[in-house]
Each structure stands twice: as C-alpha cells, then as structure tokens.
C-alpha cells in the first residue's frame, strides 16, 4: 500500500473512532483503535476523547500514559481531552493528575492555548481548587465565553458569591457576550446574597 493509501486508511480509522466515541460505543471505538496498523496523535486523541465522553477516566488516563511511552507527542487537543477525562472522573482521577497534565502543557508551551486554558480552568473548578482556576484564568492571553462561564460557575459553586457577580460584570465590560449558562450561574449566586437587585439587573441584561 502506498503512503497516500495508508494515510487514507488512518484517516478512516480515526473518523470511525470519533464517531463511535460520540455515539457512546466505546467498545467499538477501542476495537478500531486496537486494529490500527499505526497510530498518530489524532488516533490517540480521538480514543482519549471517546473515553472522556463515556466517563471512563481510568481508561483515558491509561491511554495517555501509553501514548507518552511512544514517540508521538500530545498536542493541545490531546491535553484538553485528558483534562476533560480527569474532571469527569474524579472518583478515579485527582487534582494531582491534573497538575501533572498542567505541567506537561507548560513544558510543551501549550498552557496559553485557549482550548487548554479552558480545560484547565474547568478541571480545577471541578476539583475545587479555585486558587489554581483563577490563576490559570488570569494568565490566559484571551478568554472567551467558555472561560468566563467556567470561572463564574466555579466561584458560585465554591461560595465566592461576590466574586462570581463581579466576574459577570467584568465579562460584559470587556465585550464578551454571556450565554444562557452564564446567566444561569450568575443568577444562582444572587439568592445567596439575597441580592434581588442584582438578579433583576442580570435578568434585564438578557433582553
């Protein structure tokens, strides 16, 4: 088989893994993955993402460890996928594992990537480490609606009510438009402060 044919086969296998992963057919995804004659970074990332979607954090972490023993280097999508697996499977994953992935992102110069930054913020929030979440958020060169929503949700869930509302106002000041999830998290903070006025202000900002 020529190189062009091999690349087409690899692309097909990677696509199948992605489709099976999105459909929740983890066993089928793993079967395709195991039968591939050669794996690339997309193959590993697709399989790790499939595990993350099925909340199989332990399997995802095992795959990530296997990948690191190969010559294939993880990219920003791979790191985002494994961070997603960690946050979804806290019963088997831990903050320590998240810190290890964060350290890898720094070593590879990917810590400033938007996808990786958002995944780190979300992971730290789910682990209850708001200090780390806020540090990552503050050092990101840019934040989008996902970044702001994650940090607002984290503040609200961890009892930092005033900070959550302040973040919501800052978000609008810098020109990032909130989405429905952002509004929901901001409004959730209001009853804890008995801040009816804040809630009314947020409600009107939706219109």
CA distance 152 to 189: 9
pLDDT in tens, 25-35: 999 999 999 99
pLDDT in tens, 68-89: 999 999 999 999 999 999 888 7
What mean pLDDT is reported for the chain?
Answer: 86
Provide the phi-psi class of 179: left if phi over 0, else alpha when psi is between -120 and 50, else beta.
Answer: beta
pLDDT at 42 over 50: yes
pLDDT at 198: 53
Average pLDDT over residues 45-68: 93
Taking the CA atoms of residue 48, residue 50, residue 51 and residue 52 in that order, the dihedral angle to the nearest 10 degrees is 90
pLDDT at 100 over 70: yes
High-pLDDT (> 70) share of the chain, %: 86
Query: What does pTM read for this prediction?
Result: 0.81
In the three-class reduction of DSSP (H, G, I as helix; E, B as strand; rest coil), residue 112 is classed as coil
CA distance 159 to 155: 6
pLDDT confidence tier of residue 93, bands split at 50, 70 and 90: low
């Amino acid at each position: 088989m020529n190189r062009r044919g091999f690349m087409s086969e690899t692309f097909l296998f990677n696509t199948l893994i992605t489709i099976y992963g999105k459909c929740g057919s983890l066993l089928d995804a793993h079967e395709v993955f195991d039968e591939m004659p050669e794996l690339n970074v997309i193959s590993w990332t697709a399989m790790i993402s499939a595990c993350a979607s099925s909340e199989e954090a332990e399997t995802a972490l095992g795959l990530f460890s296997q990948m690191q023993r190969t010559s294939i280097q993880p990219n920003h999508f791979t790191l985002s996928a494994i961070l997603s697996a960690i946050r979804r499977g806290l019963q088997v994953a831990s903050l320590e594992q998240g810190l290890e992935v964060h350290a890898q992102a720094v070593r590879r110069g990917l810590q400033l990537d938007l996808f990786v930054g958002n995944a780190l913020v979300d992971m730290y929030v789910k682990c209850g480490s708001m200090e780390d979440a806020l540090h990552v958020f503050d050092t990101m060169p840019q934040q989008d609606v996902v970044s702001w929503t994650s940090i607002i949700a984290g503040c609200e869930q961890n009892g930092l009510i005033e900070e959550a509302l302040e973040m919501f106002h800052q978000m609008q000041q810098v020109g990032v438009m909130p989405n429905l999830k952002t509004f929901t998290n901001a409004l959730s903070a209001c009853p804890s402060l008995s801040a009816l006025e804040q809630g009314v202000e947020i409600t009107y900002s939706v219109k």
